[in-house]
Amino acid sequence: MISDEILEIGIDDLERLYIKPKNQKFTLIYRTATEVHWDAKNSILYSPKPKDWTYLDWYKQITKVTKNECSCELLLNEDTIFINISNDLKNEILKL
């Protein structure tokens, strides 16, 4: 298993949670049929706009799918940037 740093976590204008890895590309992640997508232009993984799940649920889903289906563990660090993320959500993510 490889690991990669998370450069940025945010919520975009379409209200989707996204994660920007430092090095890895996940161009085939759509094949996992887990509703986790890859935006090649922006080099981000993203979820659909939450309906039944929370943003925290989607964060867990994205990191679980990259780990279990793509053999890449995405790791937070002290330099990870949070964009349009509430302090409550940021704290919940940091506790994981």
Q: pLDDT tens across 24-70, in order?
A: 999 999 999 999 999 999 999 999 999 999 999 999 999 999 999 99
With a pLDDT cut of 90, the percent of the chain lying above it is 100
Q: At 81, is the pLDDT very low, low, confident or very high (cuts 50, 70, 90)? A: very high
Cα dihedral value 71, 53, 49, 32, nearest 10: 30
Q: How far is CA 18 from CA 1, 43, 64, in A?
A: 22, 10, 14
Asked if residues 92 and 56 have their Cβ atoms less than 8 Å apart, the reply is yes
Predicted pLDDT at 52 = 95
Predicted pLDDT at 18 = 98
With a pLDDT cut of 70, the percent of the chain lying above it is 100
- What integer best gives the mean pLDDT of the chain? 97
For domain 2-95, which architecture applies? Single Sheet (2.20)
